[in-house]
Structure 1
Amino acid sequence: MLPEQNRLRRHSDFSDTVRRGKRSGRRNVVVHVLDRDDTGDLVRHGGPRFGLVVSKAVGPAVIRHRVARRLRHICLGLVDTVPGNTDVVIRALPGAGDATSAELERQLRANLGRLGLLVGTA
């Protein structure tokens, strides 16, 4: 489970990140990223914040919850590699329900790498 300080919770945070941030997509996930320093947000948080969007297009509730659990687990491993002033929204696409955890992680890391956010990796 992601710690509280690493979770996006407010609708406005989600919508700001999706509307004003940079985007990168792969087959099963799309990543939206917003640098909080660029927004003029005076509130400082304890590291990057992650939010998930897993719609009914992914599948029935059991599949959606499984995808969300996998993505949360992957995000937990990324907390130390993504800059602390970043909001990340991960949108699961319909194919994510059939993807393995390794595929989801590979695609997510590729998206973040494309956006230049994986600072702790070689």
Structure 2
Amino acid sequence: MLPHNLKLVSSAEFSRVMKRGSKAGSRTMVVHAYHQQTESQSSPVTTGGPRFGLVVSKAVGNAVVRHRTARRLRHIALRLSTELPRGTAVVLRALPPAGTADSAQLEKDLRKALARALKKDSSGG
């Protein structure tokens, strides 16, 4: 489970990451990443280390599949939280194939997409 200080909780935080950040996709998910460099360091996005938000829609599967997918993504995000710099915000949007993917595949896809999104974000594109 992700501690509260590692979660994006408000719709404003989700919107900020999805509008201002960069995105990269994989077979199982789309990753939106935003590293806040120029705004106030007291912003909610920069406090408490990297922050994660999940979007797992009904397209992924029924409630059981969605919750299982979300649990797997939260567990992977917790492991990644030690590797990302403070002030990084990430929104993980699961695609329908995420419902049938195993944890190893989800982690591989997340790491690859996150690296591409952060590279785009740091280069300004």
Instruction: State the TM-score, normalizing by the size of structure 1.
Output: 0.90
AA aligned opposite 1:67:
T
Secondary structure in 2 matching 1:66: helix
Question: Structure 2 regions of 5+ residues with no counterpart?
Answer: 120-125
The separation in 2 between residues aligned to 1:19 and 1:38, in whole angstroms, is 16
State the 4+ residue runs in structure 1 displaced beyond 6 angstroms: none
> CA contact under 8 A between 2:53 and 2:91: conserved in structure 1?
yes
* Partner residue, 2:24: 24
1:36 aligns with 2:36: yes
Residue number among 36, 46, 49 corresponding to 1:47 in the alignment: 49
Matched residue count: 117
The separation in 1 between residues aligned to 2:118 and 2:15, in whole angstroms, is 22
AA aligned opposite 1:36:
Q
The separation in 1 between residues aligned to 2:38 and 2:27, in whole angstroms, is 29
The separation in 2 between residues aligned to 1:25 and 1:40, in whole angstroms, is 29
1:79 aligns with 2:81: yes
Instruction: State the TM-score, normalizing by the size of structure 2.
Output: 0.88
Q: Percent identity?
A: 51
* Partner residue, 2:8: 8
Deviation (angstroms), 1:41? 5.6
AA aligned opposite 2:9:
R
The separation in 2 between residues aligned to 1:22 and 1:39, in whole angstroms, is 17
> CA contact under 8 A between 2:31 and 2:117: conserved in structure 1?
no
AA aligned opposite 2:52:
F
**Any idea what the Cα deviations from partners look like across 1:50-108, whole Å, max 9, x if unmatched?**
00000000010000000000000000100110111111000000110010000000000
Deviation (angstroms), 1:116? 4.1
Deviation (angstroms), 1:46? 1.3
Distance change in 2, residues 1:16/1:41 (3 Å): farther
Deviation (angstroms), 1:37? 2.4
Question: Structure 1 regions of 5+ residues with no counterpart?
Answer: 118-122
The separation in 2 between residues aligned to 1:20 and 1:116, in whole angstroms, is 12
> CA contact under 8 A between 2:23 and 2:31: conserved in structure 1?
yes
* Partner residue, 2:122: none
* Partner residue, 1:120: none
